[in-house]
């Protein structure tokens, strides 16, 4: 695969050749085919879904349904197991709210210190409402949740285990399949936050045996405002919808009785993000053409190259040199992370600085903030070389702006 050539597919790259975009864990650029697919909906079959009796409404219905199938196939799920949401955060909130009726006082929900706020705060609220308890699974030095560490905290009180497949700060890949086995031995439900894994590696929900998997379209080269909640059908069938309204009910009457539709429609109240769904399906077709295994290997090689180059600099502390994904967390010695990001910006390099929405992680790293580089398949070794040159300027931080 000629990854360099793929850069031409991205208008953000061809329109801004000076930019080095290293913030792909926050969001990704969109290939032209995704933008075109959205425009095609707005230009040629702009109708609502599941309610029109005319040709373009039918066309929108067909496209929406086909898109669900493409997205389901991508993670080896069934169509009825794919619920559209506004993003990963919304998917996680739906799961947390939806599972509340299974929980009782003193039940335990297991999370970890490296989780994104969206994989923690919905559970905090559930605990407050239901009187359940949050317990933290210890993580190892790489930020991984190991089987041994899960075994240290799981018990018969554990009802839910909710963790990320890949940490958005440390890029550690958790062995989800083994962790799921343990959770299931204890009859706990396993929720996997796939925000940072689905865009970068082949995911097979049947093989992993996760009960729920959540992800965002915009991190998968798709549009913003569209997310996915995968759930095993029997669990979705029993789960309460967070949002009620048109399109999700079968009947309702003056005595306030409401009968819901089946999954996935039960969870898709109101007009859906049709352009977003169509755009996400196009992004997934684009990724399928490249091949997820090719993407994973290429990004791993970019990360290896970056670590090789950055580790010889004596002014940098790297927090996750050994992890195999495209995320590198580091600090320039004696330079506050946000100042470092400003320095990189001066040289047209986009990086993220701060707590990365994972505000508990400082308990682990003993720093308030880090700089995060997150590369993806349209990044190049040439860009990394340029980034390394700018890192070297960090030693003379104030002078660097004028160098």
Ligand X SMILES: Cc1ncc(COP(=O)(O)O)c(C=O)c1O
Give catalytic residues, as residue numbers. Answer: 357
Q: How far is the CB of 383 from ligand X (least distance, A)?
A: 22
Gap between the Cα atoms of 335 and 397, Å rounded: 7
CA dihedral 322→174→98→233, nearest 10 degrees, is 130
Pick from 34, 96, 119, 154 the residue near ligand X by CB under 6 A.
Answer: 119
Report the C-alpha gap between 213 and 13 in whole angstroms: 31
216 makes contact with ligand X (CB under 6 A)? yes
Is there binding between residue 103 and ligand X (CB under 6 A)? no
- DSSP reduced 3-state for 117: helix
Rg of the chain's alpha carbons, rounded to an integer? 22
Q: Identify the residue among 49, 67, 89, 320 touching ligand X (CB under 6 A).
A: 89
Residues from 22 through 81 that contact ligand X (CB under 6 A)? 25
DSSP for residue 282: H
C-beta closer to ligand X: residue 171 or 394: 171
DSSP 241: P
Dist CA 182 CA 156 (whole Å): 12
CB of residue 91 vs ligand X: minimum separation in angstroms? 8
Q: Which is nearer to ligand X, 217 or 394 (CB)?
A: 217
Which member of 87, 199, 241, 279 binds ligand X (CB under 6 A)? Answer: 87
Residue from 195, 210, 295, 343 in contact with ligand X (CB under 6 A): 195
Residue 207 and residue 76 in contact, taking contact as beta carbons nearer than 8 Å: yes
168 binds ligand X (CB under 6 A): yes
Q: HSE (CB half, 13 Å, CA atoms) of 183?
A: 28
Distance CA 75, CA 6 (A): 23
Output 163 or 335, the one with its CB closest to ligand X. Answer: 163
Scanning 180-188, 192-200, 236-244, 256-264 for contacts with ligand X by CB under 6 A, the matching segment is 192-200
User: Is residue 370 part of the contact set for ligand X (CB under 6 A)?
Assistant: no
Do 400 and 383 contact (CB within 8 A), yes or no? no
Q: Is 320 in the site for ligand X (CB under 6 A)?
A: no
CB 308 within 8 A of CB 384: no
For strands 133-137 and 258-260, give the pairing. unpaired
Nearer to ligand X, 63 or 116 (CB): 116
Count residues binding ligand X (CB under 6 A): 13
Residue 116 binds to ligand X (criterion: CB under 6 A): yes
Surface-to-core class of residue 151, CB atoms within 10 Å of its CB (0-12 exposed, 13-18 middle, 19+ buried): middle
Judged by CB under 6 A, the residue of 67, 118, 269, 379 near ligand X is: 118
Residues of this chain that bind ligand X (CB under 6 A): 25, 87-89, 116, 118-119, 164, 168, 193, 195-196, 216
């Amino acid at each position: 695969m000629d990854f360099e050539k793929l850069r031409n597919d991205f208008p953000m790259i061809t329109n801004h050749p000076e930019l080095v975009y290293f913030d792909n864990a926050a969001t990704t650029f969109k290939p032209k085919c995704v933008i075109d697919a959205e425009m095609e909906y707005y230009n040629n079959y702009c109708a609502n879904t599941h309610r029109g009796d005319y040709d373009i409404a039918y066309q929108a219905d067909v496209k929406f349904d086909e898109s669900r199938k493409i997205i389901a196939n991508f993670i080896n799920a069934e169509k009825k197991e794919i619920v559209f949401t506004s993003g990963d955060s919304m998917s996680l909130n739906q799961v947390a709210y939806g599972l509340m009726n299974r929980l009782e006082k003193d039940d335990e929900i297991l999370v970890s210190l490296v989780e994104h706020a969206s994989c923690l705060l919905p559970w905090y609220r559930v605990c407050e409402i239901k009187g359940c308890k949050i317990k933290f699974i210890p993580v190892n030095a790489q930020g991984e949740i190991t089987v041994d560490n899960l075994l240290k905290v799981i018990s018969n009180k554990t009802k839910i285990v909710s963790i990320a497949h890949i940490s958005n700060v440390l890029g550690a890949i958790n062995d989800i399949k083994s962790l799921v086995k343990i959770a299931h031995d204890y009859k706990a439900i396993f929720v996997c936050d796939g925000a940072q894994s689905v865009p970068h590696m082949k995911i097979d929900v049947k093989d992993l045996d996760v009960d729920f998997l959540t992800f965002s379209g915009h991190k998968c080269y798709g549009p913003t405002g569209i997310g996915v909640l995968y759930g095993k059908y029997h669990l979705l069938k029993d789960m309460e919808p967070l949002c009620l309204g048109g399109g999700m009910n079968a009947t309702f009457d003056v005595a306030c009785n409401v009968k819901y539709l089946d999954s996935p429609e039960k969870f898709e109240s109101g007009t859906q993000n049709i352009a977003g769904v169509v755009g996400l399906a196009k992004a997934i077709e684009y990724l399928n053409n490249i091949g997820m295994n090719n993407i994973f290997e290429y990004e791993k090689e970019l990360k290896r190259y970056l670590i090789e180059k950055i580790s010889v600099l004596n002014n940098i502390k790297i927090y996750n040199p050994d992890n195999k994904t495209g995320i590198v967390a580091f600090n320039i010695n004696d330079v506050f992370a946000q100042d470092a990001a400003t320095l990189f910006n001066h040289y047209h390099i986009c990086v993220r600085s701060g707590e990365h929405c994972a505000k508990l992680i400082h308990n682990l790293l003993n720093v308030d903030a880090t700089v995060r580089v997150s590369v993806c398949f349209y990044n190049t070794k040439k860009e990394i070389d340029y980034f390394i040159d700018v890192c070297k300027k960090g030693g003379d931080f104030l002078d660097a702006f004028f160098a």
